[in-house]
Amino acid sequence: MDLLLIGGVSGSGKSVALTALEDSGYYAVSNLPLAQLAGLLSHLKAANLDRVAVALDVKTGPGLAGLPAAIDLARAQGWNVRYLHLDAKTDTLVKRFSETRRRHPFSGGERTLTEAIEFERTLFADARSLGYNFDTSDLTAAALRSWIKDFVSVDPSKLTLLFQSFGYKQGVPLDADLVFDVRCLPNPHYEPALAAQTGRDPAVIAYLEGLPEVQRMYGDIYHFIASWLPDYARDNRNYLTVAIGCTGGQHRSVYLAERLARAFTPRYQVLVRHRELP
């Protein structure tokens, strides 16, 4: 029985994620207070529903302090539990609320919108470490749906490596566990024939593979990850997000993320995401 719990701040895409899971065959429940989770699971188990996604609600309770105990109880009942925490940069959330003209659920009284966002984050603070953190700041709804489906496609009992390229111009991803800065490498952007291409194109790959410093950077990152992965696995992690950043997130970081993903695929479950590419 597969149970996927979804938490995170309002405006981060929980409704989009829940819809994607429903489209993937999950029985979806929105805005459930944590105190009602045990009763819901007993009912669904009796109804032979074995793929369930629940978006947790903190508006009617004191937060998610009881989530670890609730997860332990669900596992004791036979559920395979995963927790997915969604977040986005504060300025992105402000923009989303402004565009939709929605009222933030915690913006009543004297709180500004920014203060309401930060207050809600504190309610989820203890839960962030319980599962996989996902930064939706730069994702369209379609991209988020695609990544949610990738997320549920992997075996949750095994460690999954996510290699993510990004551009420092847009900031460091909130969900990164390890961050490697490769801006010191020669930039194909300044080569006229390569500027409009990406790190997935053969010409850019050939250019970067011909540079000794790129090979050295790749080797250093590969050996660091390979050396420490067993320790991360022993820490009961299900996901490890490795972010590779260059200036614009188009060439160097994309190339290295793709190459590292290929290198680790034979031994681990691997996903690849390029934040700045369409």
User: pLDDT by residue (tens digit) across 136-159?
Assistant: 998 888 889 988 988 888 887 788
Pairing state between β 269-274 and 160-167: parallel
Using CB atoms within 10 Å of the CB of residue 247, give its burial: 0 to 12 exposed, 13 to 18 middle, 19+ buried. middle
Mean pLDDT on 3-24: 93
Residue 64 near residue 34, CB atoms below 8 Å: yes
What is residue 102's predicted lDDT score, i.e. its pLDDT? Answer: 85
Element (H, E) at 228: helix 212-234
What is the structure's pLDDT at 90? 94
Look at residue 108 and tell me whether its pLDDT is greater than 80.
no
Mean pLDDT of 73-84: 91
pLDDT (tens digit per residue) in 54-78: 999 888 766 688 899 999 999 998 8
At residue 74, the pLDDT reads 92
Q: Are residues 136 and 218 in the same domain?
A: no
190 and 167 housed in the same domain = yes
Domain boundary among 91, 125, 153: 153
Query: For the chain, how many structural domains are there in total?
Result: 2
Output the CA torsion sign for 93, 94, 99, 105: positive
Rounded Cα distance, 151 and 87, in Å = 16
Residues in a beta bridge with 274: 165
User: In Å, how far from its chain's centre is CA 165?
Assistant: 13
110-115 mean pLDDT:
88
pLDDT recorded at residue 28: 94
Residues 105 and 177 grouped into a single domain: no
Q: CB–CB of 113/107 below 8 Å?
A: yes
Token look-up 């709804």 returns: 141
Per-residue pLDDT of 25-47, as tens digits, reads 999 999 898 889 999 998 988 88
User: Would you say residue 215 has pLDDT above 90?
Assistant: yes
pLDDT surpassing 80 at residue 196: yes
Which of the listed residues 153, 177, 198 is the one where a domain comes to its end? Answer: 153
Measured CA to CA, the distance from residue 27 to residue 247 in angstroms comes to: 41
175 and 137 housed in the same domain: no
Are residues 85 and 39 part of one domain?
A: yes
Reply yes or no on whether the pLDDT at 243 is more than 80: yes
200 and 67 assigned to the same domain = no
Domain boundary among 100, 132, 153: 153
Return the number of other C-beta atoms located less than 10 Å from residue 204's C-beta.
Answer: 23
Residues 148, 168 within the same domain: no
pLDDT at position 202: 97
Same domain, 38 and 118: yes
Q: Check whether residue 148 and residue 111 sit in a common domain.
A: yes
Is residue 120 within 8 Å of 56, Cβ to Cβ? no
Same-domain check for residues 28 and 71: yes
As a whole number, mean pLDDT of residues 204-231 equals: 96
The rounded percent of the chain whose pLDDT value lies above 70 is 99
Q: According to the model, what pLDDT value does residue 61 have?
A: 66
93 shares its domain with 180: no
What angle, 0 to 180 degrees and rounded to 10, lies between the N-to-C axes of helices 202-209 and 252-264?
A: 80
pLDDT at position 180 over 90: yes
Long-range contacts (CB closer than 8 Å, 24 or more residues apart) made by 171-175: 171/89, 171/137, 172/243, 172/245, 173/135, 173/137, 173/241, 173/243, 173/275, 174/87, 174/88, 174/89, 174/133, 174/135, 174/137, 175/87, 175/132, 175/133, 175/134, 175/135, 175/241
pLDDT at 62: 63
Residues 254, 203 share a domain? yes
AA identity, residue 3: L
Question: Contact 254/198 with Cβ under 8 angstroms?
Answer: yes
Full residue range of the structural domain in which residue 128 is found: 2-153
